[in-house]
Amino acid sequence: MHPAASPLLTDLYQLNMLQAYLGHGQTGTAVFEFFVRRLPARRHFLLAAGLEQALDYLEALHFTAEDIDWLRQEGGFTDDFLDRLAALRFTGNVDAMPEGTVFFANEPVLRVTAPLPQAQLVETRLVNILHFQSLIASKAARMVLAAPGAQLVDFGLRRAHGAEAGLWAARASYLAGFAGTATMLARKEFGIPIFGTMAHSFVQVHENETAAFLAFAHARPDHLVLLIDTYDTEAAARKVVALAPRLRADGIRVHGVRLDSGDLVALSHSVRRILDNGGLRDVTIFASGGLDEDALRKIVDGGAPIDGFGIGTSLTTSFDVPGLDCAYKLQEYAGVARRKRSVGKATWPGRKQVWRSFGPDGRMTGDVLSTEDDRQPGEPLLQPAMRNGRRLVPPPALAEIRERAARGLALLPESLRRLDATAVFPVTIAPRLVVLTEEVDRALAAHERDLP
Amino acid sequence: MHPAASPLLTDLYQLNMLQAYLGHGQTGTAVFEFFVRRLPARRHFLLAAGLEQALDYLEALHFTAEDIDWLRQEGGFTDDFLDRLAALRFTGNVDAMPEGTVFFANEPVLRVTAPLPQAQLVETRLVNILHFQSLIASKAARMVLAAPGAQLVDFGLRRAHGAEAGLWAARASYLAGFAGTATMLARKEFGIPIFGTMAHSFVQVHENETAAFLAFAHARPDHLVLLIDTYDTEAAARKVVALAPRLRADGIRVHGVRLDSGDLVALSHSVRRILDNGGLRDVTIFASGGLDEDALRKIVDGGAPIDGFGIGTSLTTSFDVPGLDCAYKLQEYAGVARRKRSVGKATWPGRKQVWRSFGPDGRMTGDVLSTEDDRQPGEPLLQPAMRNGRRLVPPPALAEIRERAARGLALLPESLRRLDATAVFPVTIAPRLVVLTEEVDRALAAHERDLP
C-alpha cells in the first residue's frame, strides 16, 4: 500500500486512545467537527476544499494484514485490540460544506458522526487533507480577486511540499478560479487544463535564442509560447518579430511570449510596443517569477499589458500563511454535548449548523452558528455527504465546484474582497448554542464536585 | 502506479522540451546543479536533506504503458517521441552533498550529469524532493539550537501539506536532531522513534479527568504521559498526584504530564511544584501548542522546568519561511559551460565543487566555490552518489546522517548558531570560476553577433 493510502498516516496517540476505548467498550456515537479557530492576518474569508479526498480516505480506510503484523511487532498493543483494528472500517456519517463554499472562523466545515474509535482514528489524516486544500484554495481566491479576468496558472509543483501537495495545489487553485496548471499529473488525475512553455535551459543549450525559438516552434507548434528573458528581454522580443514571418510560412503562429524576471511592468510595456510595431498585436504576454497577490494587484493597477500569470511558490506553499489554526474537536459523545475549555482553545459544544443570509443585492450579509436542530433564517451550509461509510452522491465535477466558488467570491461583501480588508464578516452565535454551552459547563462542574 | 511515483509528476514544459530535444538529436551530456540562490531572513545556514528519496526517484523512473497511452490521447506528442519516452530510464550520474551537510547560498547541493532529455525531465520532481526536506531539516536545526538537550518531537503531520510532507517532515526533523515523531508511518517507513500521549477528546468522553487518566493508564501503561490542560491544568496536576499511589499499586508509573495551552513557563513552574510536593520528582513535563524556535528559546531562557516539546505546524510547514529560493540549472551542455543571465537570477557556469575549511578549534571558517577540476584547500563537499543510473552505495542509516548533521551544527561558527545571527558565512568564488564565467559570456556575445 502506498504511504498516502496507509491507515498508519496517523499519530501514535490515536492508536493508544483506540486501545483504551475498545478495551472499555467506549464505542458510543461521537460527533467531531473540523473548523478553523481564527482567521490569520490577510485572510478575510476561506474557501472549503478537500472534501472529496476526505471521503475517498474514509471509504478506503482499513488496516492490512501487514500493518497489523507490524503493529504487533512494535509492541504495546493487545491481540484483542489488533484483531478489532483489522476488522475496523469507517461506518459513520459525514456532513460538510460542499467544496468551494466560503466559510469563516468557528464554523464547522465538516462533521463526523461515528462510533468513537472510528471518529477518533481519522482525525490526523482528515485534518491533513482538509487543511491543506482549504489553505491553497483560499490563497488562490485572493489572487483571483487581485487580477480579475487574467489567466492564472499554477506553476508551483517544484516548491510544493512533496508530491501530494503539488497535485492537490493544482486542484485547489483550479476550483478557486485558476485557469489551469503546469502539472501533468493534475491533468491526468483531475482533468485540469494544462499549460506549458519552455525553460531557460532550452534556450541555453542552443547556439543562440533564435535557434532555440525555431527548434521549439517546430517541435511544439500548438499554443506556442516563447520564453524571452534568458539573456536580454527586449532583444529577444525583436527576434520573435523577425522570426514570425518565417514561422508563419511554415503554418506556425506565435501564441505568446513569457517574461520571467526583471521589472515586469516596464518590460511588458516595452515588449508590447515591440510586438505591436512588428505586427504581432495578437501575440499575448505571459508573466511569471516570484508573483503573489500583491504583485498581481500592483501589475494590474499599473495597467501592464500582461494577459496571464504563472504563479509558483506563493500559491503552492501559501507563502505568507502556510498553516491555518484549525482543529477537529469532539462536540458530543453518547448523546451528551462536550466542549474543550483549554485557555485560548475553548470550543462551542454540540452538533452545529451554519445558516447564511443574503441581502437584497444578493450579497452575503451574515452567518448564524447554532445547534443542528435549531432553525434559523438563511441557507444551511452543511449538507449530508456520507451515510454509514458510503458517499451519498458521486463526486461532483470540478467545474461544478469551481462555479460554486466563483459564485461565493462574487457574493462576498465588497469590503471582504480587498486584499487588505479590515471588515469582519458577522458570524452570530444563536441563543440556543449559548444555552447549550452553559449547560455543558454546569454538568462538567457537577461531575468534578462529585469526585472523591 | 501511485501519484507520488508517477513520472507525470512533472511540468508540461519538460515534455514539450523533451520532444524538441529528441526530435533534433540533442542528447548530448548535460550538467544541471541544484542550489539555493539566497538564504532567506532568519536562515543563516541550511541542512541538505532528501538525497535518498531523490536517488529512489531516479532509479525507479519510467513511463508505464498506461502513461504513454494517456499522453497519446492528450495529443501534441509524436509517436516517435512517445516510443522513446516509453524506453526512457535515468542512466546518468549524481554527485551530491551527503544528507545532513550544512550548506550556503550558491553552493551546488546536487549535480546531475546525464543525456540532456533525462537531466531535463527530472527537474521538477528533484526540486520538489530536495527543496522540501532541506527546508524542514533547516528549520528543525534552528529548534535544536534553540533548546539544546531538550527532547524535541514532531507533532505536525496534521498540518503538514499532505501525506508526503508529513512523512518526510518526520524524517527531515529527525536527521536534524529531533528525538522522534508522533507519525506512525514514519516509524514504519524509516524506523524513527515514536512518541504519543493522549488527546483532549479522550478526557472529554470520560465522566471526569480522573476517570480518563485511570482508563488511559491501564490501557497504555508504558511510557505513560497524561494530558493535563483540558479543563484546569493545576487541578489536573493535583489529580495526578492523588492517582499516582493507586497506579503504583497496579505496577504503573506515571512517566510524564503534558501541557498544551496557557502560559507554559508559569504553568510548568506551578505544575513542577505540585508534582514535587506530591513526591513525583521523576515525572517529566512535556509541552506543546503553537511552539516555534523563538518560543523554545524563551522557555529555555526563562528556566522553565520543561523536559521535552512537541512541535507541530511551525516545523512541518517551516511556517516563517515555507519555501526557499532554489533552482536546478543547466551549467554545461555537450562539454561547453553555460549560464543564465536573467536579471536577479544569473548563475555561475560549469560543473562546480565546494571546498570547506576549518580553523584550529575545528569550527568551519569558510567555503570556496570553484570548478570541479580545480583543487582548493579544505574538504570537498560533493561526493559521487550515483553512476549510470545506479546508487554507488546502499542508503546510509538515518543515525549516520543524524550524526553528520549534529557534527555540522556543532562546527558552525558561534555567530551563525544564534536565531538572529547577522554574520554571513564566507563563501569565496575562486578565480578559476570567475574566468570561466567571463569566457561563457564572451562566447555567448560572439554567437549573438553572428546572427543574421
- The DSSP symbol for B183 reads B
From chain A, pick out residues whose CB is under 8 angstroms from the CB of B167. Answer: 3, 9
Q: What is the mean pLDDT of chain A?
A: 95
| pLDDT at position B446 | 79
Region B248-270 average pLDDT: 96
pLDDT tens by residue, A69-96: 999 999 999 999 999 999 999 999 999 9
ipTM of the complex: 0.96
The answer to whether residues B424 and B415 touch, using CB atoms and an 8 Å cutoff, is no
- In this predicted structure, the answer to whether residue A349 has a pLDDT above a threshold of 90 is yes
Which of B136, B201, B258 is most worth mutating to test chain A (most A CB atoms within 10 A of its CB)? B201
CB contact B205 to A (< 8 Å)? yes
CA-closest candidate to residue B366, choices B401, B409, B412: B412
Q: Rounded to whole angstroms, how far apart are CA atoms B245 and A237?
A: 81
> If you measure CA to CA, which chain B residue comes closest to A13?
B196
- In this predicted structure, the answer to whether residue A216 has a pLDDT above a threshold of 90 is yes
**B431 burial level (CB within 10 Å; 0-12, 13-18, 19+):** exposed
CB contact B70 to A (< 8 Å)? yes
Region B232-249 average pLDDT: 96
CA-closest candidate to residue B98, choices B58, B133, B62, B48: B48
Of A32, A218, A317, which has the smallest distance from its Cβ to B322's Cβ? A317
CB contact A167 to B (< 8 Å)? yes
- Lowest pLDDT segment from B67-81, B197-211, B401-415: B197-211
- In this predicted structure, the answer to whether residue A450 has a pLDDT above a threshold of 60 is no
Please, what is the angle between helix B233-249 and helix B209-219, to 10°?
Answer: 40
* H and E: helices and strands count for chain A: 16, 19
- In this predicted structure, the answer to whether residue A452 has a pLDDT above a threshold of 50 is no
| pLDDT at position A446 | 79
B 129-158 → A contacts, CB under 8 A? 129, 131-132, 135, 155, 157-158
Region A187-205 average pLDDT: 93
Q: E-assigned strands of B274-315?
A: 284-288, 308-311
Grid cell locating B71: 499522453
Q: E-assigned strands of B149-283?
A: 151-154, 180-181, 224-227, 254-259
Query: Which residues does residue B57 pair with via DSSP β-bridges, in sequence order?
Result: none
| pLDDT at position B451 | 54
Region B315-324 average pLDDT: 98
Which comes out higher in pLDDT, residue A2 or A163?
A163
CATH architecture of B144-316: Alpha-Beta Barrel (3.20)
Please, what sign has the CA dihedral across residues B170, B175, B178, B179? positive
Q: Which residues of B62-89 are buried (b: 16+ CB within 10 A; e: fewer)?
A: ebeeebeeebeeeebbeeebbebbeebe
Report CB contact under 8 Å: A204, B116: no
Region B347-358 average pLDDT: 96
- In this predicted structure, the answer to whether residue B359 has a pLDDT above a threshold of 80 is yes
The answer to whether residues A110 and A54 touch, using CB atoms and an 8 Å cutoff, is yes
- In this predicted structure, the answer to whether residue A346 has a pLDDT above a threshold of 80 is no
From chain A, pick out residues whose CB is under 8 angstroms from the CB of B199. Answer: 13-14, 17, 120, 123
Report CB contact under 8 Å: A132, B338: no
| pLDDT at position B111 | 98
> If you measure CA to CA, which chain A residue comes closest to B336?
A205
- The values of phi and psi at residue B219, to 5°, are -80, -35
Instruction: Count CB-CB contacts under 10 A for residue B420.
Output: 9
What is each CA distance from A422 to A42, A413, B239, B406, in whole angstroms? 9, 12, 45, 46
User: In degrees, to the nearest 5, what angle opens at C-alpha A295 toward C-alphas A291 and A299?
Assistant: 115
From chain A, pick out residues whose CB is under 8 angstroms from the CB of B57. Answer: none
CB contact B444 to A (< 8 Å)? yes
Q: Rounded to whole angstroms, how far apart are CA atoms A349 and A98?
A: 22
Q: Rounded to whole angstroms, how far apart are CA atoms B316 and B143?
A: 12
- The DSSP symbol for A390 reads E
- Least Cα separation, residue A148 to chain B (angstroms): 25
Q: Rounded to whole angstroms, how far apart are CA atoms B339 and B280?
A: 65
From chain A, pick out residues whose CB is under 8 angstroms from the CB of B36. Answer: none
Q: Rounded to whole angstroms, how far apart are CA atoms A290 and A122?
A: 36
Assessment of whether the complete model's pTM goes beyond 0.95 = yes
- Least Cα separation, residue A207 to chain B (angstroms): 7
Largest CA distance in chain A: 93
| pLDDT at position B252 | 97
Grid cell locating B19: 520532444
| pLDDT at position B378 | 97
Of B13, B155, B229, which has the smallest distance from its Cβ to A196's Cβ? B13
Contacts of A21 (CB under 8 A, 6+ apart): A27, A116, A117, A120, B205
- In this predicted structure, the answer to whether residue A451 has a pLDDT above a threshold of 60 is no
- Residue A1: pLDDT band (50, 70, 90) is low
Q: Rounded to whole angstroms, how far apart are CA atoms B195 and B394?
A: 28
Region B345-349 average pLDDT: 83
pLDDT tens by residue, B416-430: 999 998 889 999 999
Q: Rounded to whole angstroms, how far apart are CA atoms B360 and B362?
A: 5
A 100-119 → B contacts, CB under 8 A? 116
A 309-328 → B contacts, CB under 8 A? 313, 317-319, 322-324, 326
Of A161, A201, A229, which has the smallest distance from its Cβ to B120's Cβ? A201
The answer to whether residues A50 and A168 touch, using CB atoms and an 8 Å cutoff, is yes
How far is C-alpha B236 from the geometric centre of its chain's CA atoms?
Answer: 37
> If you measure CA to CA, which chain A residue comes closest to B243?
A452
Region A45-63 average pLDDT: 98
| pLDDT at position B98 | 98
Residue with cell 484546569: B232
CA-closest candidate to residue A121, choices A11, A241, A250: A11
CA-closest candidate to residue A158, choices B324, B15, B172: B324
- Residue A449: pLDDT band (50, 70, 90) is low
Please, what is the angle between helix B264-277 and helix B233-249, to 10°?
Answer: 30
Q: E-assigned strands of A374-437?
A: 379-380, 383-387, 390-391, 427-429
Domain ranges of chain A: 3-136+323-449, 144-316
Region A155-184 average pLDDT: 98
> If you measure CA to CA, which chain B residue comes closest to A180?
B12
Its CATH class, for the domain covering A3-136+323-449, is alpha beta
Q: Rounded to whole angstroms, how far apart are CA atoms A78 and A23?
A: 9
pLDDT tens by residue, B51-93: 999 999 999 999 999 999 999 999 999 999 999 999 999 999 9
Region B12-23 average pLDDT: 95
Amino acid at A197: T
| pLDDT at position B409 | 98
- Residue B452: pLDDT band (50, 70, 90) is very low
CB contact A353 to B (< 8 Å)? no
Report CB contact under 8 Å: A123, B32: no
Q: Rounded to whole angstroms, how far apart are CA atoms B441 and B428?
A: 20
Amino acid at A78: T
| pLDDT at position B347 | 84
Region B351-369 average pLDDT: 97
- The DSSP symbol for A416 reads G
From chain A, pick out residues whose CB is under 8 angstroms from the CB of B326. Answer: 159
From chain B, pick out residues whose CB is under 8 angstroms from the CB of A161. Answer: 132, 135, 160-162, 164-165, 317, 322
The answer to whether residues A315 and A143 touch, using CB atoms and an 8 Å cutoff, is yes
Region A141-146 average pLDDT: 98
Q: Rounded to whole angstroms, how far apart are CA atoms A409 and B59?
A: 45
- Least Cα separation, residue A205 to chain B (angstroms): 6
- In this predicted structure, the answer to whether residue A45 has a pLDDT above a threshold of 70 is yes
Region B155-179 average pLDDT: 98
Percent of chain B whose pLDDT exceeds 70: 98
Instruction: Count CB-CB contacts under 10 A for residue B60.
Output: 12
Q: Rounded to whole angstroms, how far apart are CA atoms B105 and B99?
A: 16
Which comes out higher in pLDDT, residue B1 or B254?
B254
Report CB contact under 8 Å: B324, A159: yes
pLDDT tens by residue, A428-439: 999 999 999 999
- In this predicted structure, the answer to whether residue B448 has a pLDDT above a threshold of 70 is no
Amino acid at A335: G
Report CB contact under 8 Å: A448, B187: no
Q: Rounded to whole angstroms, how far apart are CA atoms B19 and B23?
A: 6
Which of B1, B17, B136 is most worth mutating to test chain A (most A CB atoms within 10 A of its CB)? B17
- Residue A421: pLDDT band (50, 70, 90) is confident
Enumerate long-range contacts of A38-42, CB under 8 Å, 24 or more apart: A38/A105, A38/A325, A39/A104, A39/A105, A40/A321, A40/A324, A40/A325, A41/A321, A42/A142, A42/A320, A42/A321, A42/A419, A42/A420
- In this predicted structure, the answer to whether residue B396 has a pLDDT above a threshold of 80 is yes
- In this predicted structure, the answer to whether residue B281 has a pLDDT above a threshold of 60 is yes
